[in-house]
Amino acid sequence: MQEAKVHTGIKKYIMLTRPHTLTASFVPVFIGTASVMLFSDIRWGMFFLMLIATLLIQSATNMFNEYYDYKRGLDSHESVGIAGAIVRNGMSPKLVLSIALTFYGIAAVLGLIITFNSSFWILVVGAVSMAVGYLYTGGPVPISWTPFGEIFAGFFMGTVIIMITFYIHTGNLQTFPLLMSIPPAITIGLLNMANNIRDRKKDKVSGRKTYVILVGKPLAIATAAGLLLFAYLFLIYMAFFNSMGSVFLLIPLLSAPLALKTILLMKKGDTPVELIPAMASMGKLNTIMGLLLTIGLIIYGLTGI
Please report whether residue 94 resides in a domain. Answer: yes
Residue 179 amino acid letter? L
**Which pLDDT tens digit goes with each residue over 198-219?**
989 888 888 889 999 999 999 9
Q: Nearest Cα to 101, choosing from 51, 64, 68, 55?
A: 64
Please report whether residue 3 resides in a domain. Answer: no
Buried b (16+ CB within 10 A) or exposed e, 89-127: bebeeeebbebbeebbeebbebbeebbeebeeebbebbe
At 1 the pLDDT is: 40
**Mean pLDDT per 10-residue section of the chain, whose length is 305 residues:** 53 76 88 95 95 92 83 59 60 86 93 93 90 84 91 93 95 95 96 92 88 95 97 96 92 97 93 90 94 96 89
**What domain count does the chain have?**
1
Phi, psi (degrees; rounded to nearest 5) at 105: -65, -45
Please report whether residue 203 resides in a domain. Answer: yes
- What's 142's domain CATH number? 1.10.600
Please report whether residue 159 resides in a domain. Answer: yes
Please report whether residue 1 resides in a domain. Answer: no
Residue 92 lies in domain:
9-303
DSSP class of 171: S
Please report whether residue 168 resides in a domain. Answer: yes
At 3 the pLDDT is: 45
